[in-house]
A and B are shown apart, each in its own frame.
Chain A
Amino acid sequence: MNGFIYLKNVVSLELDREKCSGCMMCIIVCPHEVFEMKNKKAIIINKDFCMECGACQKNCPDNAISVRSGVGCAAGIINGILRNSEPSCDCGSNKINCC
Chain B
Amino acid sequence: MTTEYYTKFINGILWKVPKTSTVWSRKDIWSTIKVRWSIGRMNYRIKPGLYAVGNPDSNSEIFVTANFKLSFDHLRRALHEMDAWILVLDTKGINVWCAAGKGTFGPRELTYRIKAHELDKLVNHKRVIVPQLGATGVSAHEVKNSTGFRVIYGPVRAEDIKEFVAAGLKATPEMRKVTFPLIERIKLIPVELAYGKYYLLVVPAIFFILSGLNKNGFSIDLALSAGGEAVIDLLSAYLAGCVITPILLPWIPFRRFSLKGLVISWIMAIPLLYYNFLGNTIFENISWFLIMGALSSFLAMNFTGSTTFTSLSGVRKEMKIALPLQIGATVLGIIGWIISRFI
**Chain A interface (Cβ within 8 Å of chain B)?**
1-8, 10-12, 25, 28-33, 49-55, 58-59, 61, 68-78, 87-90, 95-99
Contact = CB atoms under 8 A, between A and B. Distances in A.
A72 B305 contact: yes
A74 B301 contact: yes
Given A7-B314, A10-B317, A96-B195, 17 more contacts: A4-B250, A7-B317, A51-B309, A51-B310, A53-B101, A58-B136, A59-B135, A59-B138, A68-B312, A72-B309, A73-B302, A74-B302, A97-B194, A97-B302, A98-B41, A99-B95, A99-B98
B307 to A, nearest CB: 8
B178 interface: yes
A10 B313 contact: yes
A85 to B, nearest CB: 13
A13 B311 CA distance: 11
The secondary structure that dominates the B interface is helix
Contacts, number: 159
Interface in B290-334: 301-302, 304-319, 323
Contacts of A12: 313
A33 B255 contact: no
Interface in B150-183: 153, 156, 171, 173, 176-180
A69 B195 CA distance: 26
Contact of A89 (B102, B139, B177, B323): B102
Q: Sorted from nearest, which 8 A-B pairs have the closest CB atoms?
A: A3-B250, A73-B305, A72-B310, A31-B178, A70-B312, A29-B135, A55-B135, A99-B98
A6 B249 CA distance: 11
Contacts of A8: 255
A10 B319 CA distance: 13
B243 to A, nearest CB: 14
Interface string B182-214: 000000000110110100000000000000000
Given A32-B178, A75-B302, A97-B305, A68 B197 contact: no
Contacts of A6: 255, 309-311, 314
A68 B38 CA distance: 30
A53 B313 contact: no
A2 B94 CA distance: 30
B256 interface: yes
* Residue from B101, B171, B250 having most chain A Cβ neighbours under 10 A: B101
A51 B308 contact: yes
B95 A10 contact: no
B245 interface: no
B135 to A, nearest CB: 4
Contact of B309 (A4, A28, A95): A4
